[in-house]
Structure 1
Amino acid sequence: MATEAHRRHETPPGPDGLPLLGNTLSLSRDVLGFYEQAHRNYGDIVRFEVAGDEGYLLTHPEYIEQVLVNDDAKFVKGEVLNRSIGSALGEGMLLAEGEAWRAQRTLAQPAFYRERVETYGEAMVTYAAEAAGNWDGALVDVHDAMTELTLRILARTLFGIDIGDRQSVVREMAEATRTRTDVSSLVGFLPDWVPHPAIREYNRALTDVRGFVEGHIAERKAEPPEERGDDLLSLLVTAAEAGDMSDETLRDNMLTFLFAGHETTALALTYTWFLLGHHPDVQARLHDELDSVLEGSAPTTADLPDLEYTGQVVDEAMRRY
């Protein structure tokens, strides 16, 4: 249960820190260890300071539900998140707040209607089969493979583009962003104007990927509206032309979906394969269900309700990691 002291709105306890730096050094040395120790020592809600910003660690489900669900309108995403990725994702949906977020979500929503999502299945199966066909007998870096696969699928389904040999532009930006925002390194806490090699690489990669994205936006704008289709890029381009979204917000949203979409999915799939490799009994049961439901055919979205155990495997991987 949440403690009575916290219900009375007292300032939560937390670890002592250094002047100006607060708990920055302790957090950067061992991120997970810092959070685990803070929870053990101070309870379900812990106050700490990082690089001049105040943060709170919530571990009780009641608090988490309050922040993310019940009282979500009272909480903002915060300066730390904006400082770390704001230069890349700017006015996009991930960082937008309040009415700006709702307006962008409304414009993008048709791309995620059920009937539209069902059309993405064919591209997913095609690209997955191509990837698997290259793995037979090979030693594979699973995370790299999943990153490439999810990026190809996302680019095709949401933006109607074949990313092909331009994947490197997006992947270099993703890698530079991971380094730039890594809280286990002091680089993750430095402002953009500091002349650090990692920050220079981040800015270079950001310039390249913006050019890549803006080029595709220009190509779509050059197409007659009746020929654009109904993918996410076409919806956002039409909104920008109607004055419902600025060109900068359009670009930032395309970057948001490129990175937030493929990185998170690739990581979830990587952990799924990792766990399956360590649990051959689960792997065997998964294969049995696939053989029984698909009977040798390629999967379709219509098969998803019958692939119950398969869904449970993916859900468990995401729950654990």
Structure 2
Amino acid sequence: MTNPARALAGALEPVIGQVYFSPECHAAYAELGFGPSPGSSRGVANPDGVAYFCSRGSVLGQVPGTVVAAVFGVFNPEVVVPALAHGWTLTDAATIEAARTHGATAQLVRLLGERPDRVDEARDLLARTVEPLRPEGKPLFAGLRALGLPGDTVGDVWRLGDMLREFRGDAHIAAWTSAGFDATEIGLITELFWGLRMRTYVRTRAWTDAQLDAALERLEARGLVADGVLTEDGRAQREAVEAATDRMCHPIVAALGEDLETLLEILRPWGQAVRDGHGYPGRAMHDLAEAAAQR
């Protein structure tokens, strides 16, 4: 295993990130007045933007869109702020958070069964991993931890895994902001780092062409991008962001110790089952990130 922190993030991603594609979540949000899933991609239901911002942001409490935009980091506040303003007219944070938890757990039960293989072992390992983690500078992790555990084994596994997923996400934002990138710049340079064409994945973050044009000009002026590709310095600086994220996730790896391989052995078949059941996209950003790390 060349990079334990990234390996764990990749194994967790489909099992935990399936919450954003769960038909059970989409149905629950629609009952609250949100829009339905706006279609699907290769059989995987896409998230409704307003429900996404409110449901994921609900772990912070009933906060305004400016706070959610700041904590999520990569989305255009011009879209996030009105989305939250509308969403909080439909429901409150506690209600949509409960719908999120129920929907995420329900999809896992549907795809993996009520007692997935080695689920108790996974729960114990995840709980041991989360226990020593510090909350400072980790707002989404801290918000999830304050919620406690749902109280059923599959739900507990999902919540603990979500804590680890958001811990890395919080760390990643700290890494790229301290490296001097803004949200549009990190979006564009990450696409090239992953081997994607620019302005493909970053489009999901709702930035305008003018905002992306300006970001590309800044990256070119700093010598990080030239003729639509990463320069040597650009690749080094983007990899340094990932390495800084890994360092901040060292407490996760240390807490697991030699049992990291055991947890990966449990999670990887679950993740494949979730993907096979159209609960999560088959080719996701963590796959691309892991491939980029090997180049």
Which category describes the TM-score, using the shorter chain as reference length?
under 0.3
TM-score normalized by the length of structure 2: 0.25
Question: Which of the two has higher C-alpha Rg?
Answer: 1
